[in-house]
Each structure stands twice: as C-alpha cells, then as structure tokens.
Amino acid sequence: MIDGSALISAFGLLMDPLTLFLLVFGIVVGLVIGILPGLGPPIAIALALPFTFYMDTVPSMVLLLGIYSAAIYGGSISAIAVGIPGTGAAIATVLDGHNMFKSGRGGEALGFSLTGSIIGGLFSAVCLMLVAPLLADLAVKFGPREYLAISVFGLIVVVRVAGKSLSKGLVMGGLGIFLTTWGLDELNGTERYTFGSYHLYEGLPLVPFLVGLFAMSEVLIGAERATRKVDFSTDSLSVKLPGFKTLLRMKDVIMRSSLIGTIIGIIPGEGAAVGAFFAYSEAKRRSKEPEKYGTGIPEGILAPETANNATVGGALVPTLTLGVPGSPAAAVLLGALLIQGLTPGPKLFSEEPDLMYAIFLGLFLINILMMFIGLLAIRFAAQLIRVPTAIIVPTVLFLSFVGIYSVSNSFFNVGVMLGAGILGYVVRKLGYSIAPLSIGFVLGPILENSLRQSLTIADGSFVEFFSTPIGLTIYLALALTILWGPVTSRLRK
C-alpha cells in the first residue's frame, strides 16, 4: 500500500531549493566522474560521502543517488568517444558504441546511450517503489537466522562473481569481515584487537575504510598510467535522440534489458557490469542478425546501457530493505545512511516513510533531469576525457585526505584511509577483487551478531539454522545459484 501522506511529505522535501540544487549538482558530478576513465560510481560516492556529514538525510541521499546514476551513464560517453569505458558497467558499450563513433555516427550512439540509460533508470525506480515495500513487509518477520542466511547469500554471491578466482574472493570476503571484529565486542564488551588505542574501541571506521579502498587504491593505480595520452575528435558529439518509431521498433530489447538490469541489481553483488553484459548477450542471442553485433549497431548500445542503469534501482532494493548492499556502490550508499544515524532494514520503511518515498521519487526525478543535463552538457562533458590523469591523481588524493579529516577532525581516520588504500592497491595488483572486501566489511557486524544469536537460540546446533522456512528458502536459493552453472553445463555435455 502506498502511504499518501508520506508521499506528499516526500515530494515537499524534494522540492526544497537546496535539495533540488544538490540533485542537479550530483548528476553533474556523477557525469564528470563517470566520464573519467577509472573513476567509477563507488569512488564518486565515496569522495562525496564526507560532505554529507553536514547535510540532512534527504538532500544527502539525493546528492549521492544523482552521482550514482549519472556516473554509470557517464561511463558510456568515454566508451563511445574513445573506446575506453569510464566505468566497468560501460565495457559492453565499447564494441558497438565506438564503432558507430568511428563511422561518424557518434551523436546517434550518444543518443541511444542516453535514452537507454533514462528508460532503464526509470523502469528500475518504478520497480524499487513497488518491490521494496513488499520485501520490507516480509523482512519484518526476519530473525537472526534469516539475517544470517541473507548475509551469507549476499557475501557468497559477491565472492562468486567478483574476479576469476573463487579462493581469492573468499580470502577477500573473510578479510573484510575479520576487520569488522576489531573494537569492543558489541555483545559483552570484550576488547578485541584494540592494541591499547582508544580510537579502536569503536572498530575501524566504515567511511575512511571505503574511501581508502576505492579512491586511494585507484589513485595509486592511476599514477602508474599517468603519462598515457587520450585524444579523439569532437566532430560527432552532438546528441541525436532516437525517434519514437525507432524506439518502438526496439521495444523488445529495451523491455528485456530493463528487466534483466533490475533483477541482476536486486541480486546482491552482481552489479552494473554483469547486468550490461547479460543484457548485451541476450539481445545478441535473440537477434535475427546476431553477426551485426559488435560492428556498430544501436541495439548493441541500447541493451547494455538500459540494463546498467536499471541495476541502480535494483541494487537499492536489498540495500534499503535488508541492509545488505546490492553492489559496492550500494555498500558506500549504505555507509551514507549509517552516517545519518539510520540503520538500513525493514524498520526504515515504518520509521522513515518520508525518506523512503523521497528516495523513490528522487531516483525518478534524477533520471528525468539526467536527460536534459545529458543533452545540454554532453559536448562539454566529453572534453573532460582529455583531462590528464596526472591532474586527476593528486586532486583525488588531496580530496580524500581533506574529506576524511573533515568528518571528525581525526588523523586516526586519515590513517585508516591510507592503510585501506595501500591494502586495496596491493590486493588489486595481485589480481584480487576489492568488491568482496568492501561488502564483507559492511556485512561483518550483521553476520557476527546474527551468527552468535542464532547459535544461542539453537543451543549451539548448526542444524537449527535451516529450521525456519525463510532461512531454508534463502539457503536453497544460494545452493541453486552456485550449482546452476556447473549442472547446466554438465547436462549440455
């Protein structure tokens, strides 16, 4: 049921001039960061997090959501113009997008990318509005065993899809969770790994850790390739939006990609890149002319771009209703809610209905405004691809330092960020993915508390974990997720 009064109140909150300004500002910042190769949505949100300390909840969430959505879309601009995806989510767009650009149809390619992104984003915003309250109603019935099941599900799925090696993913997931055990034990006050420092009583702080992991590690990797030059022609950068008839002809691709993106976004850990690739391969598989994919056709842009922006609303479903982030970017967003003193989960819907509706409506508004901002700013924004990495690197480093310090005037937090950055850099260089590390760090406290409470309830028996219908369903879904691929490939043989 839609709460009418909360909806009206949320609309009022969104119409506040400062909130509207931050919404537009977020889109512009997200677009800029998305265009710059290497700086994806998690980094963009992480860099903006410290600023939200000084804001109310709705303006801060609207700012971060604007950045999130626009950064995913922005990645397609550099993918099309120079063949370098600005974000992982735009990798699938490179093939057809850049080929269209090279053949002088860049404006058309940018038009399809913008239109697909808007449609995917709007579709997932509607799904979020419809699905999230239902899931929240169900999640109210969740106890420690169900939370344990959903956290294990989220973590295992992240580990499975992040990187090539399952064992490396598990190492990172385990390390991320382990680091959350530092500080005072929440259940009995025991000091754990505090090493005599009172700073560690509350454990390692979330925001400096995530900023270090994403932004700092990217700074160090960016420094390595700082002298690489990027150049391109701006001749075909005027956006040409596709006509209604053209879109109607491609309605199947659009609808299928929107649905794929939203569903993949909902599954914890899958993320925008997986959604884009899945939608691209589905569009190709179902096409009457699959051989044309990769040569520069509109469907090859529309499918991944619709899907990757559709993952935004999808990823917010488990983040808001269960407190389990759907992607690394959503993990950072979850950190923003914690900064505001809010605990993501089903109770958020009954305790903060205005905020929930403001997020739903905000996401809707962001996608509509992104259309106009994209049309107006694309030509100028694309010039940013030329900004040398040598300027981006010190700027991001300085912003990370100052931003994290400003959160609590604490050098300890700056040290945590630096440590997390070095850890992130080292493990990325060694072929580990940082997604399980970040998700593990967010899920750690939920996992530990629910595991210990579950064991206490079950009197130490692990069998009892599977005794609740919801918990059992989640574990079965997990088993299905893990076994589906190997079983179907064996059956095909």
Partner 1 sequence: MLTQRTANLVFVLFLIGACSYFAWVAEGFITSGLLASSGLPSKFFPQLLLALTGGCACIVGYLYLVKGGAGDDGETVFANGAEARRGILMLGVAVACYFIWRDFGFLPMAVFLGPASLIAMGVRKPAMYLIVLAITAVVTVVFTYGLKIQLI
Using the minimum distance from each CB to partner 1, give the nearer residue, 170 or 472.
170
Q: How many residues bind partner 1 (CB under 8 A)?
A: 60
Query: 3-state SS of 360-399?
Result: HHHHHHHHHHHHHHHHHHHHHHHHHHHCCHHHHHHHHHHH
- Of 445, 410, 169, 259, nearest to 334 by C-alpha is 445
Using the minimum distance from each CB to partner 1, give the nearer residue, 47 or 264.
47
What does 52-118 look like in DSSP terms, one character per residue? Answer: HTTS-HHHHHHHHHHHHHHHHHHHHHHHHHHS--SSGGGHHHHHHHHHHHHTT-HHHHHHHHHHHHH
For the CB of residue 343, give the shortest distance to partner 1 in the complex, in Å: 20
Give the separation between CA 334 and CA 328, rounded to whole angstroms.
10
By CB under 8 A, is residue 224 in contact with partner 1?
Answer: yes
For the CB of residue 451, give the shortest distance to partner 1 in the complex, in Å: 7
For the CB of residue 44, give the shortest distance to partner 1 in the complex, in Å: 16
For the CB of residue 488, give the shortest distance to partner 1 in the complex, in Å: 23
Using the minimum distance from each CB to partner 1, give the nearer residue, 197 or 409.
409
For the CB of residue 32, give the shortest distance to partner 1 in the complex, in Å: 14
Q: Among 134, 140, 368, 390, indicate the residue that binds partner 1 (CB under 8 A).
A: 390
By CB under 8 A, is residue 409 in contact with partner 1?
Answer: yes
Site residues for partner 1, window 76-105 (CB under 8 A)?
A: none
By CB under 8 A, is residue 394 in contact with partner 1?
Answer: yes
Site residues for partner 1, window 438-457 (CB under 8 A)?
A: 448, 451-452, 455-456
By CB under 8 A, is residue 178 in contact with partner 1?
Answer: yes
Residues sharing a CB contact under 8 Å with residue 340, sequence separation 6 or more, in sequence order: 52, 57, 60
CB 9 within 8 A of CB 45: no
Running DSSP on this structure, what letter comes out for residue 199? G
Give the type of residue at 232. Answer: F
By CB under 8 A, is residue 399 in contact with partner 1?
Answer: yes
Q: Among 12, 104, 388, 485, indicate the residue that binds partner 1 (CB under 8 A).
A: 388
By CB under 8 A, is residue 21 in contact with partner 1?
Answer: no
Query: Binding string to partner 1 for residues 150 to 169, with x set by CB under 8 A, is what?
Result: --------------xx-xx-
For the CB of residue 103, give the shortest distance to partner 1 in the complex, in Å: 31
- Within 10 Å of residue 260's Cβ, how many Cβ atoms? 27
Q: Which stretch binds partner 1 (CB under 8 A): 17-25, 199-207, 411-419, 478-486?
A: 411-419
By CB under 8 A, is residue 18 in contact with partner 1?
Answer: no
Distance in Å from the first CA to the final CA of the chain? 48
Q: Among 223, 230, 472, 477, indicate the residue that binds partner 1 (CB under 8 A).
A: 223
DSSP helix/strand/coil, 184: strand
In 411-488 the beta strands, taken as DSSP E runs, fall at none
Give the separation between CA 182 and CA 202, rounded to whole angstroms.
8
Burial of 230 (0-12, 13-18, 19+ CB in 10 A): middle
Applying CB under 8 A, which residues contact partner 1?
51, 54, 164-165, 167-168, 170-171, 174-175, 177-178, 181, 185, 187-193, 216, 219-221, 223-227, 388, 390-391, 393-395, 397-399, 401-402, 405-406, 409, 411, 414-415, 418, 421-422, 425-426, 429-431, 448, 451-452, 455-456
